[in-house]
Chain A
Amino acid sequence: MAITTMIGAKIHRREDPRLVSGYGRYTDDLVRPGIAYAAFVRSPYAHARIRSIDVTDAVKAAGVVAVLTARDFEGVLSGAAPVAPTFVAEKKTVPDRIFIAKAEAVYQGEPVAMVVAEERYQASDAASLINVDYEPLPAVMDIEKALDPSSPKAHTDLADNIAWDLVYNDDANAAFEEAEVTVKERILQQRLAPTAMEPRAVMAEYSRGDDQLTIWLSTQNPHWLRLFVAGAMGMPESRVRVTSFDVGGGFGSKISPYSEDYLVAAAAKITGRPIKWTESRTEALQTDNHGRAQVFDIELAGKRDGTLLGMKVTQYIDTGAYVGTFGSFQACACLLAGGAYKWQQIAARTVGVLTNRVLTDPYRGAGRPEATHLVERMLDIFASEIGMDPLAVRRKNFIQPGEFPYEQNFGLVMDSGDYEKTLGRALEMIGYEQFRQEQEAARQQGRYLGIGLSTWIEMCGLGPSAATAPATGGVGLAEAAQVRFLPTGSVIVYSGTHSHGQGNDTTFAQIAADTLGIPYEQIEIRHGDTAEGTGFGYGTYGSRSLAVGGLAVRMASLKVVDKARKLAAHIFEAAEEDLAFEQGDFYVKGSPENKRGIQELAFASFGADRPDGMEPGLEAVAYFDPPNFVWPFGAHICQVEVDVETGAVEILKYVGVDDCGNVINPMIVEGQLHGGIAQGIAQALFEEVIYGEDGTLKTGTFLDYTVPTANEMPPLSLDSTITPSPSNELGVKGIGEAGTIAASAAVINAICDALAPLGIRHVDMPASPDRLWAMVQEHRTGLEGYHVVAFAGTPDRAGVHPHGDPDAALTGSEEEGRIIGTGGRAEPGSEGSPQEGPRHQEDYDE
């Protein structure tokens, strides 16, 4: 059965034969003649003055080509890595993101020296011979103490640790005056490590003769990297080429530039040698940007009949030792705090706090998982306060289908939605009523079952230039594509996005095949090389590839069809309007037997018989600047059983019904949901970055940072509905981040529902067995101090003290013997021993 339309078909991915055969081209797979290898000496301290760096032994070591410190890069590299305004245009204290520490190191893992050697191991051997004289300084690890003027500063020369303090709206008074009920909670988004399976890698080559710099690296954003590195190297953008062939996952951690991107490029110029650096996993966990790392203090006002009135949201973001390039993007959690519901007023304030940890930057969802988690949790807390089924509270406050496009409290316009449709289907699939009976029966036998809802929404498809140009500091996040017929009729489509697992090579070929009407196999999709295609490419993140990049492919294809139509009209000696175009063939309406295929016309376009003024060739470039963001939505429901004796959580059933508008390839959409849900469940139950009080990373290997395996993941049952987006011709939205956005709230709501009979109102993430067990013991015995969960160094938090006043906790003091999760304090006196160069395993003395 020939496929008549590609869009919507479950086409298998054209990327796969190469990848299942081991013929991927990941950066570490690539080699250049005369390649040399780099290794870095990194600060073992979270904060230390660098008194001196002794390289005498390293320089003499076997195979060493060069040993470089900050001084050696002066004159080759200048400026600092960029910090985009994103959602916080006026920032306060923003330290320069220098590329290599000079006088002071401000997070464990910051590069201090670089060795270039003939062989891979020789580079790390020589790195371990470099003696750095550090003077340890107090590490700023607790985001609440960091706000205190008397606190040490993350950098000694900073006025304070406040990266930003911005109030989006301070007035929710009317809503709170009208309120019959208010509930308050502190909700934690623990610090996470994206952990793409491919560690970062950079290879660079500089050719002196023609002043050309080529960089191969694992990035989601080749064109942005060219822009940034060219700027820092003082080279014209036109002489820098960045290629990123296959990338082994990014999830946001490969959006922004890293120190090594600049240093390897500069070292290639300094040494005249092609240089490759490949990160170890310990380096990755220590230096790749982390995600989330936020605390929310939220108050919700409503009525006893379940009507939601208002919210007050305060967000604290642990930015790390610098502000990431897109470090303030996560402030959008405040702007999206209203979720799928209608509110009179939402007051919101976001505070960015500098600490001595590695930077935080977008991680799959970036602000939107945080928004969904807080609003879905607060709705459940409000529902239990007024004794109403959380399902009923949601249904009572949904934005209704007829109200779209809907301008929400912060002026963002939600394009389309039908929240009852996805929720209704999900309830059917999970068997909500029947579960409530099972739950009741189980409680009689002392078993704790729970069900959790998450009716999520998302703003993605970044994004309309009116909003995104100011956010990036000048460049609107459109997307570009070039469609080019070659004389024999085959086609190359260049896209400015960067597919690193999303299957764009397949879905974009489906769009081009349908629009051009030529066989799918004769369309080549290319991305990831700034030497090809359009003037700029905006990269892949924020679930934008299809909703922006796909439209650019469609538009460029239509331009090509339009030119072909003019040529066909000339050849048929007919008016354009009299021509039909079907399955790639033009013919005069009424006589389809006499047709000219578009591939035939491609060849003709290089000939002599063309209408006057028509240039040879059949190709076109298109840039698509979307009029609005796109707003997918859905409903996820999770059933769990909590074993209160061990604290273990078992996911009994997980259902997700999602709506991302029209679907190009259902198989690829499902795959994105599987991966996103797994990462959402992993945040809810398993993962957490933990730093010791002295700033030493405790979770520096996959032994300690527990990325779940196939064993820990439950089977998923998914379904979908289709509510097209009105803002683009394909009616498509994004889906790449839906899973992480929806899943954490569904799992945690289910756990809280299960433990409600014990008087436990809120559980923070990760809901690991030890934490749940401790909470259950504390609620059973009324005793304190089993195990206080605190976040990002917040020494003492109300999360465990039932109904504790979050403000009181802000000034709580540390107590001996408490394990502080998420980057907080370990037992006093435990010293992580300094790391001696990249190959040596960090010693943990738990």
Chain B
Amino acid sequence: MKLKVSTTINGKSRADEVEPRLLLVHYIRDVAGLTGTHIGCDTSQCGACTILVDGKAIKSCTMFAVQAEGKQIETIEGLAKDGQLHPIQQAFWDEHGLQCGYCTPGFIMAAKYLLATNPNPTEDEIRKGLEGNLCRCTGYVNIVKAVKTAAATMGGAAQPATSSQPVATSGSGS
């Protein structure tokens, strides 16, 4: 028995027939084909599946697709606008805030919501705000730095985390 669900994902609306038990994360990955949202656990702990639903950070493994009826969904693929990375994406790149990259989409979406609610967070507020996301590669050091830098470039009062001027050739921009 399938139900109709219509959603808007990254600005594009779509309608599908889905099983009621289909998880939102599988809807996004398998039905909508947006595989940037990842799955890292089966008990709502790791945050790799974090997306924004009507602007709020949600773990899409803990929500059914049918519950997203009529909602605005934003996934990692929707952040960059016409080839220009979002400041949070750019900051993760500049501050080496990722290594294997598997948890990164979830962290970036969680950070986007965090900075929307608190544009100028302290280090402790950043760590608290991201405690719903697990990373195994970075020890969180550069993730925290990246969110600080993003806060600064997005207009928060704080000084960007002082990483020495990045020596990048193809690194930034493009």
Contact = CB atoms under 8 A, between A and B. Distances in A.
Do A and B form a real pair?
Answer: yes
Contacts of A3: 167, 169
Contact of B169 (A11, A15, A198): A11
A10 B166 contact: yes
Contact of A667 (B45, B96, B132, B133): B96
A447 to B, nearest CB: 22
Given A16-B93, A199-B40, A500-B100, A678 B172 contact: no
B38 interface: yes
A294 interface: no
A667 B141 CA distance: 12
Contacts of B167: 3, 9-11
A501 B141 contact: no
Given A198-B40, A251-B136, A281-B40, A11 B171 contact: yes
B54 interface: no
Query: Could you say which interface size class chain A belongs to?
Result: 35 or more
Contact of B103 (A11, A197, A503): A197
A22 B42 contact: no
B98 interface: yes
A336 to B, nearest CB: 24
Interface in B47-92: 48, 75-77, 79-80, 85, 89, 92
Given A16-B93, A22-B36, A711 B43 contact: no
B168 interface: yes
B149 interface: no
A521 B43 contact: no
A3 B144 CA distance: 29
B96 A20 contact: no
B11 interface: no
B85 A17 contact: yes
Contacts of B108: 20
A710 B77 CA distance: 25
Nearest to B80: A21
B137 A501 contact: yes
A674 B93 contact: no
B26 interface: yes
A564 to B, nearest CB: 23
A9, A24, A197, A501 interface centre (most CB from chain B within 10 Å): A197
Contacts of A11: 167-169, 171
Interface string A249-286: 10100000000000000000000000000101110000
B19 interface: yes
Interface stretch (A135-143, A320-328, A436-444, A701-709): A701-709
A449 B76 CA distance: 44
B144 A679 contact: no
A198 B102 contact: yes
Contacts of B34: 22
Interface of A: 3, 9-17, 19-24, 26, 28-29, 120-121, 194-199, 246-249, 251, 278, 280-282, 500-503, 519-521, 667-668, 670-672, 674-679, 701-703, 707, 709-711, 713, 715-716, 739, 841
A498 to B, nearest CB: 12
B42 A710 contact: no
A675 B36 contact: no
Given A11-B171, A21-B79, A281-B42, A502 B99 contact: yes
30 contacts: A10-B164, A17-B85, A20-B76, A20-B92, A20-B98, A22-B36, A22-B105, A26-B35, A29-B35, A120-B26, A195-B136, A197-B134, A198-B100, A198-B102, A199-B40, A246-B101, A247-B100, A248-B38, A248-B101, A249-B136, A281-B41, A503-B99, A671-B138, A671-B142, A674-B138, A674-B141, A675-B139, A710-B133, A716-B141, A841-B43
A63 B5 CA distance: 23
Nearest to B99: A501
Contact of B41 (A278, A672, A679, A701): A701
Contacts of B75: 22
